[in-house]
Structure 1
Amino acid sequence: MALLINNLSKQYNVQKTAVSNFSIQINKGVLGLLGPNGAGKSTLMKIIATISKPSGGTLLLDGIDIVQNPNYIRKVLGYLPQDFGVYPNLNAYEFLEYIAAMKGLGGKGLRQRIDLLLEGVNLTADAKRPIGTYSGGMKQRIGIAQALLNDPKVLIFDEPTVGLDPEERMRFRQLIADLAQDSIIILSSHIVSDIETIADEVAIMQEGKLITHAPQYEIIKQAEGRIFEVLLDNADLNSFKNQHKVIGTARQGDKISVRYISKAGVVAPLSVQVTATLEDAYMFLTQHNS
């Protein structure tokens, strides 16, 4: 199974192009989708999910045009949008049974499937409570469960770990890892560590365009030799930020450890080169292309 996207574009008006000449082939496994706010990630995923139509380009799943034949992907699709909504008066069982009916699912195995999914997202103990009483993280977990109802072969998750605590995020990552062998999974998140943990490949978008797509280790390699750390006095931090792209800071006693990207090979005195991470590479590539 493969999803081939060729020269995809989405233009809302003369001033706003959300996706521009986007081309990529997505195979089985986990594709991590990164990009700043407004990069076009959610628009791209809505188009793949056939909720929105592109202005141009083609999308082929196993050679079938899913713009012209949207039901071909819909029957194997699981989708969790960023703005996922629930029916607050329904409990988890009732909600998932409702979503199953919307997807044309039924039969003797449905209740067992729902039980397994609720266990997988750690909601069994709260399954009979109205969803309106759930916390934000619990609602997000019921959203993950509904995306998995039809045993999908194409899964699209838009910011799936928002509101989840560290233990829940770990459980989600394990769930995705178990599914990745047989499914195409597209995972968009601003939490780079989530993608770093589970993504086989990474695609980075900026201003509607694809700026890079490769296995994760190749993305990281692009930032090698450009990431440094240095200890500074508090008073020097603001002026340092004016000269270097700071990725992060951490207090060490009466000083501050600063992780930064060297610009044009300029390195501050007493700096130490450090091993690049995916977050470093993401920051390097997006600032390099801006």
Structure 2
Amino acid sequence: MIKLDNIYWKYKHFSLEIDDLTLQTGITILVGNNGSGKSTLLHLLATAARAPRGTIHYHDDTMDSALALVRSRIGFVPTGVELYPDFTPLKLLMYMAQLKGLGKDFSIRQIDELLKVFHLEDVKKKKVKKLSQGMQQRLAMAQAFLGKPKYIFLDEPLNFLDIHERKSLLNYVAKLAPHCVILVATHELNEWEPVCNRVIWMYQGKVVYSGSKLMWKHQLPLKVWTGELQDSLYDHFSNQHLIVYAGRVKDKLSIRCASNIKPVLGFIESQPTMEDAFFIRKYTKEAKR
């Protein structure tokens, strides 16, 4: 468990304020618009930045009481992580294992495992700068899991990964979830839904929702409806209802919208997705401002 108390951080015109927040064992997804404070929070949790006010408790430890120990238990992948371009994946992972103080035999066994998990065996002796973006992203993931960390912080980890690699990462993280605190900043809410336990929503530097994924989807002020619409009716319709999705099916528009009442004849109520819930919550919050 991780507990944040009275955290305050400011940079130029942006400030992050968290009075009280607890991260439980399992996978929590961190959602919000760009600039809402997600990456800042991850950097603070990973000890890559330090808040001038407040305390983060990692079980019984803090940065003040046991910084080296806390860091040894953290796996972190920020966005745009820069890897050593002239290293090979094998050399990079061995180097990172040494920095983490891992024993040689353990390091070799785990590195072999991670190279297999992230499908990097065939390129383990190829220089990083020669790897594709997807391969570099998988390598960044692999280094984060070295040493079996208790606290894992991932910032947009699905970036640059194809559908097969995405599923592989989700399955791997899900296996670790019963034993780790895992926080994932993501815009792909629906992809993480099958494996996540909780949701944290940040808005303008503050946590405005922290709870289960079921409450996130089902305690909404609007219902979700789906149906088809003629093109000529779209402008009027969109002025009356929140459009979550619009696509084309033959000569009509396929609409997914949010409203308190049934929009028009033929529309049916649908179960909200994780992303539906985000659009609805954001829309209603901004409408109140």
Correspondence for 1:252: 249
Structure 1 length-normalised TM:
0.93
CA deviations 1:224-254 (Å, max 9, x no partner) are: 7511123111233344333322111222221
Counterpart of 2:4 in 1: which secondary structure? strand
Once the two structures are TM-superposed, the CA of residue 269 in structure 1 deviates from its matched residue by 1.7
Distance across 2 between alignment mates of 1:226 and 1:210: 24
Match of 1:132 among 120, 123, 129: 129
Q: Which residue of 1 aligns with 2:192?
A: 195
In the alignment, which residue of structure 2 is the partner of 1:274? 270
Structure 1 residue aligned with 2:114, among 114, 117, 125? 117
Could you tell me which residue of structure 2 aligns to residue 21 of structure 1?
Answer: 18
State how 1:1-290 maps to structure 2 within 5 Å: 2-13=1-12, 15-17=13-15, 19-66=16-63, 69-223=66-220, 226-262=223-259, 265=260, 267-270=262-265, 271-290=267-286
Report deviation, 1:68.
5.4
Give the aligned length.
Answer: 285
Aligned partners of 1:32 and 1:162: how far apart in 2? 15
Report the Cα distance in structure 2 between the residues aligned to 1:204 and 1:102, rounded to whole angstroms.
34
Contact 1:187 1:195 in 2 (8 A): no
Q: Cα RMSD between the aligned structures?
A: 1.7
Quick one: distance in 1 between partners of 2:19 and 2:129? Answer: 39
CA distance in 2, matches of 1:224, 1:185: 29
TM-score (normalised: structure 2): 0.93
In structure 1, the gaps of 5 or more residues are none
Tell me how far apart the structure 1 counterparts of residues 274 and 49 of structure 2 sit (CA, whole Å). Answer: 30
Higher helix share: 2
Distance 1:248 1:36 in 2: 18
> Which whole-Å CA distance do the structure 2 matches of 1:75 and 1:105 have between them?
10
Do the aligned partners of 1:113 and 1:149 also contact (CA within 8 Å) in 2? Answer: yes
Contact 1:247 1:259 in 2 (8 A): yes
CA contact (8 A) 2:222 2:280 kept: no
Structure 2: tracts of 5 or more residues without a match: none
